[in-house]
Structure 1
Amino acid sequence: MQIRGQEIPIAATMVGAYPRPSWLQGRIFGSRETPLYTSMSTRVAYEDAVRLCCYDQIEAGLDVLTDGLQYEDWEAEGYQYDALWHLFTEMLGGYSRWGAPNEYHKYSNYYVQECTGPIKWVRPAYQGVVDAVKRATDKPFKIGFLGPTQLSILTRDLHYNDQKAVAMDLAAAMNEEIKYLRDTFGLEAVQIVDVAVHYQSDQWLTEATNRALEGLDDMLKFWHVCYGSVEGQPDVAENRVADVISYFADCNFDVLSHELANRDYSEVASFKNFPSDRILCAGVIDDHNIIVESPEKVADGIRRVLEVIPADRLMVAPDCGLALFPRTVSRAKLNALGEGARIVRAEL
């Protein structure tokens, strides 16, 4: 694939989350009516954490970096997804900053925000994220958004009485946010994270995803189809690629990020029908297993994927985020990823 005009076969990246340093604690960003950062000392600590996260990725030889979701409160057991689920919507007009607990027991630690009026983009939510990564590195990087369909599921709708309407207005606000970050800070790549396709594949899900990515043809657009990982436990146990492969052809993304290692590559054959104009970012590092893969094992996994996807249309990454491991384990897994990619690249 091409990254900044350079052809890189089997490029490597990270899906998103990475452990925070022990000295970075609590909430980083404010909300709609407050300053961007909770304090200046918090900003300094956060930017230092992003710098370390980028350093680990560069040392591992990754080609597209991420911010590592260093604004997420991973050390608070049972509450890791609070900022991931609420950061964007807390900055929007039409949303409350509170709500009742999630009715689904597995997610009862998280409150469900209420939509009380028309959803509109008011101020940037991820300005601090992009700024911190640009201060840390000049390498290509992406930032991740929980997709509009997923956010609509996590919303208690008291205004529209229509989930599609919620998702479409969330998508429009997200599109405005991404364009602002591109035009103001030069953001080159974005990643949508969504698990909704596993549960329902109505046409409006495609419409909402495409609306969020509309007019971004000059950016590299990732879509991470997440299987869920609360406390390391997946939400979706069954294999679904064969059932939803046609959905991918209708979505306006460049790179599909999908886990394979955790499922022992059992879904590889289903990607024979993957759209020929798209890039597959194959998960070759198991984010549910604390044992660090050897570079040779990673290389073997990459070779299995190469049986159905050519090297110029293949990226590699961990299955999902690495934040739930000790930092030493996550760093070792990243190094195995980079070295495994280099082994196979040398064989081409």
Structure 2
Amino acid sequence: MQKILPTSIVGSLPKPSWLAQPETLWSPWKLRNGELAEGQQDALRIAVQEQRGSGIDIVSDGEQTRQHFVTTFIEHLGGVDFEQRETIRIRDRYNANVPTVVGEVSREKPVFVEDARFLRQQTDGPIKWALPGPMTMVDTLYDRHYRSREKLAWEFATILNQEARELEAVGVDIIQFDEPAFNVFFDELQDWGVAMLERAAEGLRAETAVHICYGYGIKANTEWKATLGPEWRQYEESLPFLQRSTLDIVSLECHRSRVPLDLIELVRGKKVMLGAIDVASEAIETPEEVADTLRNALAFVDADKLLPSTNCGMAPLPRHVARGKMSALSAGADIVRKQLAAAS
């Protein structure tokens, strides 16, 4: 029988200090060439061990082989020049110096497939792999070629579908698309954003998830959150469209946020990967705190469709904090599991 309330993390885990600078996003690698490849595999193996040791049910790579959840994928594509850079506004929130699309984008070879194959070899349990979503990819580049966010998104969606099919073929059970841009560009979300996501997920037998959050616990994101008022209702724009989409799972940020939990009702019928761990704080939740978040969410999502998770990735956190938070997530889910079993 399938385990109820299976736990997972959304994306990244902190990297070991011998691989990259700890508690830092975009941290450069400390190793080179063959040593780097070996070090990344070692870090991935450790990430699996730490997840399993913390009681996480659906294991991921912790993004140990990538510097960034978007640009590491783009680095492997043709048509993007990382030497030609422009400063743009990312997610209408902060400025960044980004690479330029100079020609037709293409995927000459698989990007993460060998890493996913290695992850599959580390565990017999279910595994999840995260890819950047088409809209978020578009929002991380300067486009000198297509000059249309929609056209570029379609090309990226096609490329992502190729990658996703090969990830599925090496045994990935859940393919997650990260679309934080869905919390910002509501007109594009409605006009073409969800359609591009469906194109990226087209024809997959693996379960598909979309992750929408308010970002890592970095200064630009926390300052933006401070402007959003007493209630964060951005999900009200996206969830009705996602409820009607072909995606299987919707991943949301909920714990210690101002998101009203009743918004989860808008995706009734879908599985919900519920953020019950705050990644913007080093304070480790108690199992009972996690359990409270999950119990409150059960008013709006059926127990057999609830997947306890983290709000976002944990790359900027100290490793011991990330381990503590994963353990709290597992223990909190176990509290609710036992309560549900006793009530049935």
Q: Same fold (TM over 0.5)?
A: yes
CA drift at 1:52? 1.0
Deviation at 1:214, TM superposition (A): 0.4
Match of 1:122 in 2: 108
Counterpart Cα distance in 2 of 1:305 and 1:259: 12
Q: Residue in 2 aligned with 1:155?
A: 141
Q: Taking structure 1 as reference, are residues 209 and 92 closer, same or farther at Cα in structure 2, changes over 3 Å only?
A: same
Equivalent residue, structure 1, for 2:285: 293
Instruction: Report the Cα distance in structure 1 between the residues aligned to 2:278 and 2:66, rounded to whole angstroms.
Output: 21
Q: Once the 2 structures are TM-superposed, how far is the Cα of residue 145 of structure 1 from its aligned partner?
A: 1.1
- Which residue pairs with 2:87 in the alignment? 102
Distance 2:241 2:284 in 1: 33
Asked if structure 2 preserves the Cα contact closer than 8 Å seen for 1:282 and 1:315, the reply is yes
Match for residue 80 of structure 1? none
- Equivalence for 1:89: 74
CA contact (8 A) 2:113 2:163 kept: no
Q: Name the SS of the counterpart of 2:202 in structure 1.
A: coil
Q: TM-score w.r.t. structure 2 length?
A: 0.87
Paired residues of 1:115 and 1:156 also in contact (CA < 8 A): yes
Aligned-pair RMSD on alpha carbons? 2.1
Q: Deviations over 1:20-43 (max 9, x none)?
A: 111113656xxxxxxxx9512111
**Structural mapping, 1:264-303, within 5 Å:** 266-276=259-269, 278-303=270-295
Aligned to 1:246: 240
TM-score (norm 1): 0.86
Aligned to 2:196: 208
Alignment of 1:1-348 (within 5 A): 6-25=1-20, 38-73=32-67, 83-104=68-89, 107-108=94-95, 110-183=96-169, 185-199=170-184, 200=186, 201-216=189-204, 218-229=205-216, 231=218, 233-234=221-222, 235-236=224-225, 237=228, 238-263=232-257, 266-276=259-269, 278-348=270-340
Q: Structure 2 CA distance, aligned partners of 1:171 and 1:38? A: 31
AA aligned to 1:305 is A
Q: Secondary structure at the match of 2:281?
A: coil
2:24 matched residue in structure 1: none
Unaligned 5+ segments in structure 1 are 1-5, 29-36, 74-82
The Cα shift of 1:85 comes to 2.5
Partners of 2:301 and 2:193 lie apart in 1 by 26
How far residue 101 of structure 1 moved from its aligned partner, in angstroms, is 4.4
**Aligned residue pairs, count:** 322
Task: Give the secondary structure class of the aligned counterpart of 2:62.
Answer: coil
Per-residue CA shift, 1:121-154, capped at 9, x if unaligned? 2111113421331243232111111101111122
How far 1:107 moved relative to its partner? 4.8
Using the aligned pairs only, state the percent identity.
Answer: 26
Change (3 A) 1:95 1:191: same
- 1:42–1:86: structure 2 CA closer, same or farther, 3 Å change rule? same
Q: CA deviation at 1:115?
A: 1.3
Gaps in structure 2 of 5+ consecutive residues = 21-26
Q: Is the contact between residue 178 and residue 210 of structure 2 (CA under 8 Å) also seen in structure 1?
A: yes
Match of 1:164, as an amino acid? E
Contact 1:193 1:225 in 2 (8 A): yes
